[in-house]
Structure 1
Amino acid sequence: MTDAASDTTELDPTTLLSGTEPLFLVMNSASGSLDGHETRSTIERVLSESGKSYELMQVNTGSQLVETARRAVDLAREQSGIVVAVGGDGTLNAVANEVLGKDVPMGILPQGTFNYFGRMYGIPQDTEAALACLLDAVIRPVDVGLLNSHVFLVNASIGLYPQLLEDRETYKRRYGRSRPVALWSALVTLMRAHRSLHLQIDLEGKPRRDVHTPALVVDNNALQLKHMGIDRVGDIERHHLVAMTSRSRGTLALYGLLIRGLLSRLGDAENVESFSFDTMTVQPRRGRARMKVAMDGEITRMSAPLEFRISPDKLPLLVPRDPAMEEHP
């Protein structure tokens, strides 16, 4: 977690927020666990009662999200306002990509299944509670990860994990969004055969070694690491990213890793290796000019090599005034 004392010297929230800033809310009705009508009604009621100036910019498909987020950033810059992302992890990610480096504060009303990013900074998932925090917030500059210049807030990955996410979305569309559905889809995915990746990993510009692994995950969230049982929370607090690889290839071994992860004992698994870094470059040894990657639950394809690093720009995030609300790892 970012050090609050040093951050406030970079960006003093008491001088940046007057309380009169208009809010430009980008709401993805197709995102996360949103009940679009109920969430919109709550936002309109709470903000109207508070007398806050706002514009709710609602989208119904992911394809509209980036363009709408850019428009919200432009309006916020013109009117000294704040951009607020309303939705799951993918929505927060898309809006953060547009906000980063634009000198515009960002708030979130998180609606994702696990809400690791919001919980890390004390932002509740309940919409009305999150709005109450937003209306009495301070700015905290926080670290975000970059994968080839694309922002990720929680994690980015290649290999098995993107496939798990693709299958999970299929099951969620069919059976609804819940943690049991997510677990069942993961078990079904692991039953299939998986190709191991052969990767060359360079750390801080120096060759490290070749790696054979079914998955590579890079994490920027100390709370998620703690819940997986990976003892590298201090590395995140020191502004590093944490990478995890697995040497397990068989289905039974992968089942074992999944169970350990659910029991927060992944760090005890002898087939799991974790390490922290500032900059890491990943290059496939064979073929794969473009690789399937997942960032905060959203899947895309990117050209190799893949470079992971902490962004030199921090994200000016609106967080609750009371630091006791943070969920410490």
Structure 2
Amino acid sequence: MKMPPAHGPVFIVLNAGSGRQGEQARQDSIVKAMDSASRCYQLFLFDRRRPITAVAKEAVQAAVSVNGVVVAAGGDGTINAVAQEAIGSGCAFGVLPQGTFNYFGRSHAIPEDTDAALELLLSGTPTAVQVGCVNNKIFLVNASLGLYPDLLEDREAFKNRFGRSRLMAVFSAIISLLGEHRQLLLNVHWSNAAGPAVGAGEGAENAGGLHQLRTPTLFVGNNRLQLEQIGVAEAGELGHGRLVALAPRAIGTAALFSLALQGAIGQLGEADSVRSLAFERLSVAPAGRFGRRRFRIATDGELAWMRPPFEFKVFEKPLWLIKKTEVANAVATAGGPS
């Protein structure tokens, strides 16, 4: 696969700011840094009147026309939306992390400080990185259905009311767990599993096949940092054409709190009530009367409605992310995307 150029004009997609001081300050920093570098650039601003999907498409088209670089400035949701348009376009992709957790940027050693991230953007090397997808909707960090999307929706409501912070995200999750949660009955088939399914329990098989699973949520990860933080043993399987699935058993509120605590201290993978496995392809279909209804799916914190079956796999094309030169060289030497 041919590495795209990284020294052309830069097309940056970012939130218009809605007048908020912090976002305006970051925008001013970007403008100042690009002007100082004497690099040709253009800002593409999105807001409630101009949705990010349309703005991202416009920015990518502009970048492709001049062998330029398209850049996402924002959290994992913003980065996902721009990457959705950039992947397969043939242009390099840059990131200026500005979110709450910034798992994607942090996992690729991209600084959370805007000035430092800009310095890397202007000097780094495009590197092919792995991207997951569910029914052709890509995800860089994770995708999920069931309880986890509900938690994300509640977190967004808390953020709009009380502001964005990691502490507020944890508090909103606690409040959400206190509510009632529906248990999903899922028919699951996976192929090319990398090894034993940790905590799979009685009757589970590791070689694939069709299995029925009752769980409050199914979580599929594509971010090694996030999985390592919660203690998932299969985190090291990422980056080799595999994703990692997690699914707790059908449990009550108290047990869910216990799992949340184990995740917070990096021991979720040790819980007997959590199934986990690495796979290359995972097909999921709700059983019974919910088999054809639409489900809410979360991809990198953004919610969308999809109809089953849900097919999880690694996207066939990599994303050409601009990273530190030494990081890019290490990946190239290892012989595969990260």
Q: Structure 1 residue 30: deviation in Å?
A: 5.7
Count matched residues: 313
Matches within 5 A, 1:137-156: 137-156=124-143
- Do residues 305 (structure 1) and 292 (structure 2) align? no
- Amino acid of the residue matched to residue 84 of structure 2? N
Contact 2:228 2:266 in 1 (8 A): yes
Residue of 317, 320, 323 corresponding to 2:324? 320
Identity between Structure 1 and Structure 2 (%)? 40
- Over residues 268-293 of structure 1, what are the superposed CA-to-partner deviations in whole Å (9 max), with x where a residue is unaligned? 11101100111111000023321011
- Do residues 295 (structure 1) and 299 (structure 2) align? yes
Distance in 2 between the 1:100 and 1:37 partners? 28
Distance in 2 between the 1:238 and 1:145 partners? 12
- State the SS of the aligned residue for 1:237: coil
Q: Structure 1 residue 63: deviation in Å?
A: 5.5
- State the SS of the aligned residue for 1:322: helix
Matches within 5 A, 1:81-230: 81-204=68-191, 207-230=209-232
Q: Structure 1 residue 100: deviation in Å?
A: 1.0
- Amino acid of the residue matched to residue 229 of structure 2? H
Q: Structure 1 residue 34: deviation in Å?
A: 8.7
Distance in 1 between the 2:49 and 2:102 partners? 19
- State the SS of the aligned residue for 2:80: helix
- Do residues 75 (structure 1) and 78 (structure 2) align? no
Contact 1:34 1:111 in 2 (8 A): no
Distance in 2 between the 1:136 and 1:218 partners? 33
- Where do 5+ consecutive residues of structure 1 fail to align? 1-9
- Amino acid of the residue matched to residue 304 of structure 1? P
State the match for 2:35 in structure 1: 48
Contact 2:145 2:217 in 1 (8 A): yes
- Amino acid of the residue matched to residue 256 of structure 1? S
- Do residues 277 (structure 1) and 279 (structure 2) align? yes
Q: Structure 1 residue 146: deviation in Å?
A: 0.6
Contact 1:137 1:320 in 2 (8 A): yes
Distance in 2 between the 1:60 and 1:74 partners? 19
- Do residues 265 (structure 1) and 261 (structure 2) align? no
- Where do 5+ consecutive residues of structure 2 fail to align? 193-207, 331-337
C-alpha root-mean-square deviation of aligned residues, in Å?
A: 2.1
- State the SS of the aligned residue for 1:122: coil
- State the SS of the aligned residue for 2:89: coil
- Over residues 11-53 of structure 1, what are the superposed CA-to-partner deviations in whole Å (9 max), with x where a residue is unaligned? 447xx33x3x00000112469x992210110001000011000
Contact 1:46 1:128 in 2 (8 A): yes
Matches within 5 A, 1:239-254: 239-254=241-256
Q: Structure 1 residue 207: deviation in Å?
A: 3.4
Contact 1:28 1:62 in 2 (8 A): no
TM-score when normalising by structure 1: 0.91
Q: Structure 1 residue 79: deviation in Å?
A: 0.8
Contact 2:3 2:320 in 1 (8 A): no
Distance in 1 between the 2:172 and 2:274 partners? 22
- Over residues 94-150 of structure 1, what are the superposed CA-to-partner deviations in whole Å (9 max), with x where a residue is unaligned? 001101111111101011111111111110111111000001010001000011001
State the match for 1:5 in structure 2: none
